[in-house]
Structure 1
Amino acid sequence: MKHAKRPSAASQVHDALRQRILALELAPGQRLSEQDLATEFALSRTPVHEAVQRLTDEGLVEVRPRSGTFVARIPVHELEEAMLVRTALELALLERCAAAMTPDGLARLDTLLDEQRRCAQADDRAGFHRADEGFHATLAELAGMPGVWRTIAQAKTQVDRFRRLTLPLQGRMQEVIREHAAVVDGLRNASAADATAAMRRHLDHVLPAIAMTRALQPDYFVNQP
């Protein structure tokens, strides 16, 4: 019996740091010390350096000559491009999802909506984000194309950091729940047109929150590459 290959030390550090950056546990602009990270992970500098280089290639970390290594600020100029990719792919997925929808699929989506409601009531932002991701990933799975969601997830890396900043905004989590529920209602009524229109409204609400979010955390953003 073959055993699954264990991730390398560099991959484990990369994944851990990536999750912290996306969750804003490591804030945009925060300085990173490879030596401190090596101590934290009980590793040599080599795998930590490799992990940091991978994060740099992904645009999540930046190395400034003679200054140091920092968590990259959120590039405003990339958010619109990422949302264009996401919207096009998600709407295409939703049309396929509507054609293949089953009662079991609707029940799965309803369960995720209930989880989001529980998280919103408890002000559990991390849990809410996980349920939100689960909702969209499940739509791709029900459409029979889970690989497309992986493509979307890669394209929206910077958007995910921005979206975490919008969750504390008054009423934002409740608004997301209403928008998701409208998508499910369209699917429940076997109306691909209603479901895709609801999804477009949902995704169109992401970028307008930039101005308000930047006003709250101006140091987290950068305008140009």
Structure 2
Amino acid sequence: MFIEHNQSRAIRKKPLGQFIADELRQRIWQGKFQLGEKVSETELSNEMGISRSSLREALQILEHEGLVVNKARKGTFLVEFKKADIQEINELRLHIEVPAIMKTAEIIEDHQINDLEEMIQEMKRCIASEDWFGLFAVDIAFHVFLVQLCGNSRMIRVYSIMQNQIRTVLSQLVNYYEVHKYEFCEEHEALLKAIKTRNSLKVQEVAISHINHIYHQITSTL
């Protein structure tokens, strides 16, 4: 049972609805749910050992994040990202994430660069073990870390709202990176190399190239 499996003190401190939302999010990213699929509240609440009210609270969190949508008289469905949706996400990354990383490059400290280098090493470990779920988790952590260092609270807030949509879209790239596995780390190493120069224009160039490359690979699979 879901609740019986997760009864540590730390977990119990988190609101149940948030904890359930975390679990559902992980299942989406692992491909256990299909994008566009209808959520059966009865089946899911029984399978997870939770009340339907707790499940609905979690679904409201995911709806706020843009991962599910409630359709009148039809039920709740996982969002199926169309090309127009992915284009909007890409534009947001270009307008929010790129300037944030440029600002970060100007103020980043050596120990923070070391943290980013360790994340890239973790990416390589995930690739070696073909842990794609873990790889994309490290990837989003890498980008969130860069944005959070920029010092602009509003950029950080906007990006935090969108990061789970970005992570969900990335989960569609498993097949691509199974074939082009080393390309993933090469792109992040190139971005970090640019950041080390503290040259914001160079960072802008590399970051735009990286984000647009992801966009083109995702849209080519649709």
Which TM-score band applies after superposition, normalised by the shorter structure?
0.7 to 0.9
Q: Offset at 1:64?
A: 5.2
2:217 maps to what in 1?
A: 209
The question of whether the paired residues in 1 share the 8 Å contact of 2:42 and 2:52 is answered with yes
Q: Cα deviation per residue 1:137-157 (whole Å; 9 max; x = unaligned)? A: 221233334763452242254
Single out whichever of 154-163 and 28-37 deviates more from structure 2. 154-163
What fraction of aligned residue pairs are identical, expressed as a percent?
24
The question of whether the paired residues in 1 share the 8 Å contact of 2:126 and 2:134 is answered with yes
Q: Offset at 1:125?
A: 0.6
2:4 maps to what in 1?
A: none
Find out whether 1:162 has 2:169 as its counterpart: yes
Counterpart CA distance in 1 for 2:115 and 2:215 is 28
Taking structure 2 as the reference length, the TM-score comes to 0.80
Q: What is the DSSP-based 3-state SS (H/G/I as helix, E as strand, rest coil) of the residue aligned with 2:220? A: helix
Task: Tell me which of 182, 194, 200 is aligned to 1:186.
Answer: 194
Distance 1:188 1:54, change over 3 A: closer
The question of whether the paired residues in 2 share the 8 Å contact of 1:22 and 1:157 is answered with no
For residues 1-225 of structure 1, the aligned pairs below 5 Å read 6-63=13-70, 68-145=75-152, 148-169=155-176, 170-214=178-222
Counterpart CA distance in 1 for 2:193 and 2:62 is 39
- The residue identity in structure 2 corresponding to 1:31 is K
Counterpart CA distance in 1 for 2:197 and 2:160 is 28
Q: Offset at 1:128?
A: 0.8
User: Whose helix fraction is larger, Structure 1's or Structure 2's?
Assistant: 2
Superposed CA RMSD in Å reads: 2.8
Counterpart CA distance in 1 for 2:21 and 2:11 is 19
Q: Cα deviation per residue 1:137-187 (whole Å; 9 max; x = unaligned)? A: 221233334763452242254443221111321544422211111111112
For structure 2, the 5+ residue unaligned runs are: 1-9
Counterpart CA distance in 1 for 2:85 and 2:173 is 17
Distance 1:42 1:105, change over 3 A: same
The question of whether the paired residues in 2 share the 8 Å contact of 1:38 and 1:45 is answered with yes
The question of whether the paired residues in 2 share the 8 Å contact of 1:140 and 1:146 is answered with no
